[in-house]
Structure 1
Amino acid sequence: MARMTTWQEFAEQAPELAKTARAQLEAAKHHVLATLRRDGSPRVSCTEVGWRGPDLTLGSMPGSRKALDLRRDPRFALHANPGDGLMASPDVKIAGQAVEVTGDEQHAWVEEVSPPSEDSHLFRLEVTEVTTTGVSDDQTHLVIQHWTPAEGARTFKRR
């Protein structure tokens, strides 16, 4: 199993990459979340993300398929909304494991954000990798930045 880290730990290790990724996540309300169904096949769902203290989080309606998927198998992949398709900003992908937040912390979140139901799920997203893909300033190649807790941030160029 890959080592996981909090968003804050990621941001401390790769501040520029974290700044880019967060900007893309905050630029649009809806993103695409991939989870695993009971039979192991992928499921994609629309989701919203946010920050609660040092953590990247997502919420969902009570009993939603994505919440049930994450309870059963916490692995996820998150693709930030790519915007208008012009690639003016890098494409952002994040993978890791979702940890359900319950008890007093979940109740405090409900009080703070007022989701449609007090029984809404809250998940803290533990990060195992972050990747951005953008176009170079001179438009001649792709610039891929990839981070993992074990390897840190690396940059690749592809023509």
Structure 2
Amino acid sequence: MTVSWAAFRAAEPEFADVVRARFAAFQHHVLATLRPDGSPRLSGLEGDFRGDELWLGMMIGSRKALDLRRDPRFSMHANPGTGTGMHGGDVRVSGRAVEVSDPEEFARYAAGAEQGEAPERFHLFRAELSEVVRVTIEDPHIVFQVWHPGHALRTIRRADQDSTVLEDV
């Protein structure tokens, strides 16, 4: 099951705002797609929030766009930044990339770009989410926040030295 960013935000508004802020902290992120042989491909990408959607724009004919056309499953990891602090946590979203083919929807997206920002031709995908994960350190615990469509946000705290779940809220 996948849902739009808007549906995710409606279900978990505070968590969605934290995740979006983490992506907004840097322009470039890492996109994982599947190659024709099923092996993973990692590529740089600028995730773009416009309206209440997460968009993935790519150069015409890029390998990552061709991967998504063939198999729409993806995962996008927010840029961890510099140093070891990872302010805001380690964040990733996974799901399916739905290619935009409707000229009106494509034009609405392009119209929201700043002057000269959007190229004339590009692939555009709308992210449909199946999982959102945030990992933070709250010494002495590693804290996992995990959300799936149709389920409440789940928080798991684990001790650094032990894989035992200490709390699962």
TM-score (norm 1): 0.92
Contact 1:61 1:116 in 2 (8 A): no
Alignment partner of 1:105 is 2:132: no
The equivalent of 1:122 in structure 2 is 124
Kindly provide the CA deviation profile for residues 115-137 of structure 1, in whole angstroms up to 9, marking residues without a partner as x: 5632201110000000000011x
Q: CA RMSD in A?
A: 1.3
Larger Rg, first or second structure (1 or 2): 2
Give the number of the structure with larger relative contact order, counting CA–CA contacts within 8 Å between residues 6 or more apart. Answer: 1
Alignment partner of 1:33 is 2:9: no
Give how far 1:157 is off: 0.3
Matches within 5 A, 1:143-158: 143-158=143-158
Matches within 5 A, 1:33-72: 33-72=31-70
How high is the sequence identity, in percent, across the aligned residues?
47
Kindly provide the CA deviation profile for residues 32-75 of structure 1, in whole angstroms up to 9, marking residues without a partner as x: 00000111110000000112222111101111111110011000
Contact 1:58 1:124 in 2 (8 A): yes
- The separation in 2 between residues aligned to 1:30 and 1:143, in whole angstroms, is 25
Give how far 1:9 is off: 0.8
Structure 2 runs not aligned, ≥5 long? 160-169
SS of residue matched to 2:23: helix
Moved over 4 A (4+): none
Contact 1:62 1:117 in 2 (8 A): no
- The separation in 2 between residues aligned to 1:34 and 1:142, in whole angstroms, is 24
Contact 2:33 2:40 in 1 (8 A): yes
TM-score (norm 2): 0.87
